[in-house]
Structure 1
Amino acid sequence: MDGIINVLKPPGMSSHDVVKYLRDLLDEKKVGHTGTLDPAAAGVLPICLGGATKLSNILMRNDKEYIAEMILGVETDTMDSLGKITNLANAPKLDEHIIENAFANFTGKIAQVPPMTSAIKVNGKKLYELARKGTIIERQSRLITIKQLTLLNYGIKIDRLTGKYLPYIRFRVSCSKGTYIRTLCSDIGRYLGSCSYMAFLVRTRVGNFHLENAYTLEELTKANEQGKIFNVITSVEDALSNLPVVLVKNEALPIVESGNWLFSPDLVFPSVLENLDNKPSTEEVKLYTEEGKFLGIYKYEFDFNNLKKQPRVRKYGYKSALKPIKVFAKGAING
């Protein structure tokens, strides 16, 4: 059973809980998620099955989209509604112009400090494990990208933590891997001259996986009971539709089968790889036969200086471990 299931994770379950649920439901040992979603949050959680688990690193790099709501004038130790109140501040008066100005300040490449509730490891310990013991440590900021911040609604509502009427902002955010929305809410609150916490979070997209096409655990259980589980599994080929396509010549297929390196002369359309920036880089491609049969996910690597050296690279595969395509700069093959 190879492929990806677009799961609608319910609030109250951890990402690991969902993995365990599907592992037991499908009797499949190889099951893994493609990026942790907070237990209190709901939304898209792509789950890899079988050979597709080898590709989870690629899926983890995909951009993500969320809908979130922040409450201003209150701060908690976890930056969300599950924490203890640590600060109360005057709530600012909001209007659309003020909010849009704040959003503009947090759009693009920005530095963000990971929260203590994250799973990032420091000296072998996950931050949330340290936080549970009451240990707070200094964290280095990381560069992330906020591609778009869209205001959905704002106003005044009763805050369930304090019972007071407080301003809220509801927004949609499209962002890069490694973005913490609770930290974004906290930072925006401080920029507005107050404090804030994340009241709720829904992940609406991970790469090509969207909320409207996600399956609840109840739907997956029913599909499995009816023998229709394969109808909800997305193939690796479709899940990675954004990757460049490269065709391998028929006479080079034995090289693929033996797991050896492929070079530009073995490819029908090497130009998709050669027309990149003139700098060493690594990337993944989808490899097909000339007749259009999908062979797997390969990683190519430029090497401008040493034709003989084959550097170690991560091997991606589909149903089998496939070695990378080795591609050189134009003219280097003949040099």
Structure 2
Amino acid sequence: MSADTTLQGVLCMNKPAEFTSFDVIGKLRGILHMRRLGHTGTLDPMATGVLPVLVGRATRACDILPDQDKSYRASVQFGWETDTEDVWGTRTAVYSDMHVTKEKLEKALLQFQGTIRQVPPMYSAVSVEGKRLYDLARKGIVVERPTRTVVVHSITLEEWDEEAQTAVLQVSCGKGTYIRTLLSDLGKALGGGAVMTALCRTKASGFTLEQSYTFEDVIRFCREGSLEQHLIPTDQLFHSLPKLVLSEKLTGLYRNGVKLSLQQLSDLVPHAETYRVYGFDQSFLGTACVDEDEQVLRIWKNFK
């Protein structure tokens, strides 16, 4: 039996700089000798940090993750701009008279918390009229991008150097937030410009940097035969959903694809629409949705 059919779970990687998220998947396919791998959200090539990799049947969770919040440690330099909104791009503007104080910075940060609007950067994977923005940007083409709504739960100042005009920020945000753009917009709000100089994702989909491994770690796990012990169980992707445990009889029916009547279920949570479902032996079966109209529990995604 191949690893593709036996291994299942989440392998949290600490992505190194200069690797794309797809590069990480490609290298892991070579190390693990399996094709069925996916990730829960891209990181810029120069960024480092948490990249949850879905292994085996866990890849079925890619498009249904309930927890898409992320946390970052971002470094920023005030006083100039680039075409990529980070230090690795081409410099496009310099604000020699710009001087940020700690007081001004902390005041400006307040307007970037909560629900805000962003224009995706040209160097991004966003598609406009069927074309990736970064493909257009590499050809020197700049197009109008529709603004999008994102949520920043918190943004706090961790380090500040007024002489160097640099700062380190801790950012907690929702899906689709561009940290580069957040910092660029912050620079504009302070009367000039800013570029991101470093980015580390410290949390993604509920998983932390402390749970993440390097390629060297994974190679060692494979050599020791302990890789499976270092996979986080698939059901942890759905830790925010209420748990539903089925009786032995209902487990058999559920495994056979039978829709269960809500009247048969005793552990339903009022107003909950989605559940993580377990068999009578506590094995994780998958996720299911409540159909109020038909008064049944419908299978959403199976992981068995």
TM-score (norm 1): 0.83
- Say yes or no: does 1:299 pair with 2:288: yes
> Cα offset for 1:237?
2.1
- Matching residue within 275, 287, 294 for 1:285: 275
- In structure 1, C-alpha distance between the alignment counterparts of 2:123 and 2:145, rounded to whole Å: 12
SS in 2 for 1:57: coil
Q: Which residue is 2:167 aligned to?
A: 169
Q: In 1, are the aligned partners of 2:262 and 2:296 still within 8 Å (CA)?
A: no
- Say yes or no: does 1:275 pair with 2:266: no
- In structure 1, C-alpha distance between the alignment counterparts of 2:274 and 2:26, rounded to whole Å: 29
Q: Deviations over 1:307-332 (max 9, x none)?
A: 3999xx9941213xxxxxxxxxxxxx
Q: Deviations over 1:270-295 (max 9, x none)?
A: 2x1x335xxxxxx5421123x45123
Q: In 2, are the aligned partners of 1:248 and 1:268 still within 8 Å (CA)?
A: no
Cα distance, 1:299–1:138 mapped onto 2, change above 3 Å: farther
Q: In 2, are the aligned partners of 1:90 and 1:194 still within 8 Å (CA)?
A: no
SS in 2 for 1:234: coil
Q: Which residue is 2:302 aligned to?
A: 317
Matched length: 298
Bigger CA drift: 2-11 or 210-219? Answer: 210-219
Contiguous gaps of at least 5 residues in structure 2: 1-6
Contiguous gaps of at least 5 residues in structure 1: 158-165, 277-282, 320-335
Q: In 1, are the aligned partners of 2:100 and 2:190 still within 8 Å (CA)?
A: no
- In structure 2, C-alpha distance between the alignment counterparts of 1:8 and 1:91, rounded to whole Å: 39
Q: Which residue is 1:18 aligned to?
A: 24
Q: In 2, are the aligned partners of 1:249 and 1:268 still within 8 Å (CA)?
A: no
Q: CA RMSD in A?
A: 2.1
- Say yes or no: does 1:142 pair with 2:138: no
- In structure 2, C-alpha distance between the alignment counterparts of 1:121 and 1:267, rounded to whole Å: 44
Q: In 1, are the aligned partners of 2:289 and 2:300 still within 8 Å (CA)?
A: no
Structure 1 segment 1-335 matched on structure 2, within 5 A: 1-59=7-65, 61-156=67-162, 166-270=164-268, 272=269, 274-276=270-272, 284-289=274-279, 291=280, 293-304=282-293, 307=294, 315-319=300-304
- In structure 2, C-alpha distance between the alignment counterparts of 1:139 and 1:309, rounded to whole Å: 42
Q: In 2, are the aligned partners of 1:61 and 1:177 still within 8 Å (CA)?
A: no
- In structure 2, C-alpha distance between the alignment counterparts of 1:222 and 1:268, rounded to whole Å: 45
> Cα offset for 1:250?
3.2
Q: In 1, are the aligned partners of 2:10 and 2:231 still within 8 Å (CA)?
A: yes
